[in-house]
Chains A and B, each alone.
Chain A
Amino acid sequence: MKIVITATKPQTDGLVDPRFGRAQYFILMEAETQQWEALENPAIAQSGGAGVAAAQFIIDKHVDAVVSGDFGPNASRALGGADIKMFLFSPEVDTVQSAVDLFKQDKLQQFK
């Protein structure tokens, strides 16, 4: 399963980024093998439509789920349309790794 976590730094021990459309980085991870790569968010400097641009970027990576702090109406419509599941950070989440761990334990709430 391929997941994306929004992050402030291009590494898994950095803090998560609560924003989706304007997240600094996307950490793309294969949940089973924990292999990951950091991608810069191409939408970060957009004056408008950052949510849709970021969603398109994620959709084109064919991921299964995204974990972030919140999803705007446009981003969630696009991601939902592509059958990508959305999950929200819980208060315990600080680093990207902690988000991955909680996600794998099924402890994160799904965004609907």
Chain B
Amino acid sequence: MKPIQIAVASGKGGTGKTTIATSLALSLAEKYHVAYLDCDVEAPNGHLFLHPEFNTSTEAVIRIPRIDKNRCTLCGKCVEVCQFHALAKVGKTIMVFPQLCHGCGSCTWNCPEHAIEEIPNPIGVLESGKARQDFHYAHGTLTISEPMATPIIRQLKRLEIPPQTAISILDAPPGASCSVVETLRGSDFALLVTEPTPFGLHDLGQMQGIVEEMRIPAGVIINRENGDYLPLLEYCTKHHLPVMLRVPFERRIAEGVARGQTLVEIYPEYRQCFLDLFDSIAVLANQ
């Protein structure tokens, strides 16, 4: 059976998304076979909380063009079709800028002279292994500075996970960019972690737009809550977003997180909350 795929996302960084995702994983791992994928490839940090031991490591590559000078007529078609400006026609050559190339293949397709072959170009490393309580853990790390997150996330999601996996939890990158969309693709449910502030609400609005467009059922977790923030609650009601968990703002939690502890380690009673949360997800995802 295909595992149920839950993406944990938030509009911006620093909402405590990783705390929630790791706590969910730890809680569910007591009862189910869980796989955890840290898709925040520009700054993976789940391993700091879950301390996995990696036993496989593979290179993530994209295929970039190499121009055969003998065949190339300098027609410029490839430069024209490359939307990432990874090619330039400079004097009597076509220059390739590997750091800008997204490996989309458009240039190869459009070259009338078949003068382009594709060669592998490493963009990062994929690692997988086991974390505490025996659950599967995988992450990718970009090794180049350019924003090439989407292909590596795609490859991370294609890595093999143990066949008995019942639940896979994907920690999405912050923001509302293509890399978030890539993480959400194929997910059965999206948990949107937000803060009860105007900024949090603004970012939640962006995320809500994405999940609605992708037709992924979603729910909200309010983190660092300090009394009711009505605009947020009203927003959730209006957009039929169930508020699935509310975590108060507490010094003890903030300090624990700063020491590398997850929420369920700071407050073990949250474990049951996350198990209940999953039961609700299972219902909502099937509607």
Contact = CB atoms under 8 A, between A and B. Distances in A.
Given A48-B100, A48-B147, A56-B79, A77 B85 contact: no
B151 to A, nearest CB: 14
A78 interface: yes
A55 interface: yes
Contact of A52 (B93, B97, B146, B147): B97
Contacts of B88: 52, 55-56, 59, 78, 81
A49 B84 contact: yes
Contacts of A48: 84-85, 100, 146-147
B84 A78 contact: no
Given A48-B146, A49-B100, A81 B85 contact: no
A48 B97 CA distance: 12
A83 interface: yes
Contact of B90 (A43, A50, A59): A59
A108 interface: no
Interface residues of A, number: 16
Interface string A32-48: 00000000000100101
Most chain A beta-carbon neighbours within 10 Å: one of B85, B87, B147: B85
A82 B79 CA distance: 15
Contacts of A74: 97, 99-100
B91 interface: yes
Given A48-B146, A49-B84, A56 B97 contact: no
B172 to A, nearest CB: 20
A53 interface: yes
B142 to A, nearest CB: 14
Interface in B87-136: 87-91, 93, 95, 97, 99-100
Nearest to A60: B89
B90 A81 contact: yes
A53 B85 contact: yes
Contacts of A83: 91
A52 B86 contact: yes
Contacts of A43: 85
Contact of B85 (A50, A59, A82): A50
Interface of B: 79, 84-91, 93, 95, 97, 99-100, 146-147
What 4 A-B pairs are tightest by C-beta distance, nearest first? A49-B85, A81-B90, A52-B85, A53-B85
